[in-house]
Each structure stands twice: as C-alpha cells, then as structure tokens.
C-alpha cells in the first residue's frame, strides 16, 4: 500500500537527508498497517503533488484532515490516526504573562498581540477577524515570541514542541495549558484504490493501538 506525505511537515512527516520519510504519521501508519498484515511504502512530496497522486490514483492514500473536498475522491477513517491539540505558546519573560495564563478560549486571544504564520489554515479559519502579524513560518514566529516581539501564538502543540527543541528555546518559551481546539488527521484512501475496503478494519486496529499506549509513546518521542 503506497502512502504519500507532505515531505516538509515535522514532526508529522518529513524527508531526512537520506530521502527516507520520518515522523509521527509515518510511524503510526506503518505500525498499525503492519498489524493488519499490509505492507506499506512511504514517500514524500510537496503537499499539492502528494494530494494529486491520490486523486489521480497513482498512490493509494495520505493522512491529513478529512475536508469535504478530500472526501470527494477518498474514503476516510472514522478513527483518527492522531489528534493535534491547538494550544498557546508565549515567552516566559512576557510582561503580561499573568494575564496570558488566564486565557480561557479563542476570544481571549484578541486582548494580546497575536503572531501567526503564512499558510496556517487553522489560524486563517479561526483567527481571520483578529489582528495578526504574519511571519513566513512557525519557526520565525517562535523566535519572535521568545524575543517578546509578540505575545502569543495559537498552534499545534506537537509541531511547536518539536520546533522549540530544534531551535533550543526550551528555556524561553512556555505552553499555556488551555486546549483551544483539536485537529484530527485521518487515513484517506483513494476511492479507486484496491485498499479502499480496509477502513473498518483499520478503525478497529487504530482504536486498539491508541488504547495500548503505543500512540502516546510515538508522539512523546518527537517532543
């Protein structure tokens, strides 16, 4: 079964220096499908190309948010492969830290200087009416917040923790423990794929995989 990924989306999926796909989505799908006795091939491409490969039938599946547009040409798992929590990150030296720690929901973000990055679909949907300063990518945003050039960023906690470690900002940035939202990633199999009939079985195995604690082990590895 051929699964394609966005090749530059750590810690969910990325291509290493040897051209091998790594990441949370790769590790989970490989493990669960192995339990189902399905051999898998994992390759990465620019995201638009990866999606077109499933759409035109040259690849079997991808793992992402099951939007209405993607459901037009794929069947999708009911059980999520992984759920990305949307939380808040700020500087440990922010002068308004005590106020930021009292944030309870998305509406409260509007009291602060929000930083975000170009192409953040969640931010474009949920913060479109808020005043945001946009940077090229999340790494830039985290560096700016660590320098107190902005108050908060609302983003996927798994991605943020991975980048914070990569950027060596552990002692400068903190996560505010309020869950603003959750983003579910589903296995999406092309409607013309010969594997399009495995999703009920996949849902059962994925649920057991989550209950076993193996999923949590994988996500914690990348923090």
Cβ atoms of 87 and 158 closer than 8 Å: no
- CATH 3.40.190.10 residue window(s) in the chain: 2-82+183-221, 84-181
CA distance readout (Å), 58 to 92, 136, 171, 188, 200: 48, 32, 45, 14, 23
| pLDDT interval class at 120 (50, 70, 90) | confident
* Arithmetic mean of pLDDT, 61-78: 95
Which class is domain 84-181?
Answer: alpha beta
Which CATH code is given to the segment(s) 2-82+183-221?
A: 3.40.190.10
Cβ atoms of 155 and 134 closer than 8 Å: no
Task: Using the predicted structure, report yes or no on whether residue 175 has a pLDDT greater than 90.
Answer: yes
| pLDDT interval class at 56 (50, 70, 90) | very high
Task: Using the predicted structure, report yes or no on whether residue 63 has a pLDDT greater than 90.
Answer: yes
Q: Where are the beta strands (DSSP E) in 46-196?
A: 61-64, 74-76, 82-91, 114-117, 132-135, 153-156, 173-190
Task: Using the predicted structure, report yes or no on whether residue 223 has a pLDDT greater than 90.
Answer: no
Model pTM score:
0.84
| Spatial distance between the Cα atoms of 3 and 78, rounded to a whole number of angstroms | 18
């Amino acid at each position: 079964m051929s699964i394609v990924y966005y090749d530059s989306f750590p810690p969910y999926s990325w291509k290493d220096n040897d051209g091998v796909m790594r990441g949370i989505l790769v590790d989970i799908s490989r493990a669960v499908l192995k339990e189902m006795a399905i051999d898998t091939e994992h390759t990465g491409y620019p995201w638009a190309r990866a999606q077109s490969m499933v759409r035109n039938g040259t690849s079997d599946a991808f793992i992402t948010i099951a939007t209405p547009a993607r459901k037009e040409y794929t069947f999708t798992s009911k059980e999520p492969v992984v759920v990305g929590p949307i939380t808040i990150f700020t500087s440990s030296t922010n002068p308004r830290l005590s106020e930021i720690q009292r944030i309870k929901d998305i509406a409260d973000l509007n009291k602060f200087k929000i930083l975000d990055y170009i192409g953040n679909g969640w931010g474009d949907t949920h913060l479109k009416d808020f005043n945001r300063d946009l940077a090229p990518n999340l790494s830039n945003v985290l560096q700016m917040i660590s320098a107190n050039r902005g108050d908060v960023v609302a983003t996927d906690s798994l991605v943020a923790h991975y980048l914070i470690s990569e950027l060596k900002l552990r002692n400068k940035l903190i996560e505010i423990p309020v869950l603003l939202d959750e983003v579910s990633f589903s296995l999406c199999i092309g409607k013309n794929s010969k594997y399009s009939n495995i999703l009920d079985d996949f849902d059962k195995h994925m649920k057991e995989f989550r209950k076993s604690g193996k999923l949590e082990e994988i996500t914690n590895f990348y923090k």
